[in-house]
Chain A
Amino acid sequence: MTIHFDLAALRKTKWYEFALRALFGGSITVFTGVIAHRYGPVVGGLFLAFPAIFPASATLVEKHAKQEMARAGLDGTMRGRDAASLDARGAAMGTLGLMAFATVVWKLLPQHSAWLVLAGATVCWFAVAATAWRIRRAI
């Protein structure tokens, strides 16, 4: 199966769903800053990989899959949970990329340009996550 993108899919997401994600993301970023300020960078750093957005996105994936089945007059409960399960499988592969991201920042940030390291670490995240996803599919 090839990877492709469909910008029209953004129309399925309602404005309040975008707002909800932004609210979760903003809140966890503030929370991480407060934790690091109160307990130091070692504890604060744990929360940089907190599953902040995943619960909201998996719930939306399940809801959208159920709605598609409901439009065809069918009960989409099982389809919704399958879709959420697939989303979680992808997220699990994404976490391998997160480990690579964190390692690159940890090792390279003190000696190199911050912008370059953050950009390189993001590329690393995507490369590792996409490779893990491809290997998982091939097995």
Chain B
Amino acid sequence: MLAPATRGMRGIIERHAGPHSGKDSLAGQLIFRFLVGGLLVAAFSSLGDVFKPRGFAGLFGAAPSVALSTLTLTIATNGKSYAAIEAHSMIAGAVAFFIYAFCAVQILFRRKPSAVVVTSVLLTVWLAVAFSLWFVWLR
């Protein structure tokens, strides 16, 4: 019979993402992260497909899917205090995302470049704002 801590979803996460040593367990953790992150992101973006109107569905483009998968695994590997530090920094990342999305609205509204060009090039804006906030606020 399994020990209580290894039963259910919590047990699965602890077995795959818990603190281990060695290259095999690191590879296992990365594969587990990839699967959990991929599933959550695909699930939230599918919600964005089914909701109407379009503007409301757009909310799911900024769903906390990566945060949920990463924080769940971080709590299992490094504990709640470590995950709380990540969440504090996430506020700066979210401010950068707001500015990124605002710039995307302004440029796409002018209908010149395609969405793939705008959203890809503007990732540099996200990086610049996020690391500027890190430098002045979090460093």
Contact = CB atoms under 8 A, between A and B. Distances in A.
Interface of A: 1, 3-7, 9-10, 12-13, 18, 21-30, 32-34, 36, 41-59, 61-62, 77-78, 80-99, 101-103, 105-106, 109-110, 114, 118, 121-122, 125-126, 129-130, 133, 137
B105 A7 contact: no
B93 A62 contact: no
B12 interface: no
Contacts of B55: 86-87, 89-90, 133, 137
Interface string B47-61: 011111111111111
A51 B89 contact: no
B115 A80 contact: yes
A45 B78 CA distance: 13
Contacts of B52: 3-6, 9
A59 B11 CA distance: 38
Given A57-B61, A94-B59, A109-B80, 10 more contacts: A25-B42, A26-B34, A26-B37, A27-B37, A46-B96, A94-B101, A102-B94, A114-B80, A125-B63, A126-B59
| B contact patch SS | helix
Contacts of B53: 1, 3, 86
| A contact patch SS | helix
A83 B54 contact: yes
B5 interface: no
Nearest to B81: A110
Contact of B66 (A28, A59, A92): A28
Contacts of A109: 75, 80, 83-84, 87
B102 A92 contact: yes
B90 to A, nearest CB: 4
A9 B49 contact: yes
A55 B57 contact: no
Contact of A29 (B37, B51, B118, B138): B37
13 contacts: A13-B49, A26-B34, A41-B82, A41-B89, A46-B93, A51-B126, A82-B108, A85-B105, A90-B55, A91-B61, A98-B64, A102-B94, A109-B84
Contacts of A4: 51-52
Contact of A36 (B86, B104, B126): B86
A121 B83 CA distance: 14
A98 B90 CA distance: 8
Most chain A CB inside 10 Å of its own CB: which residue of B36, B38, B85:
B38
B42 A22 contact: yes
B115 A61 contact: yes
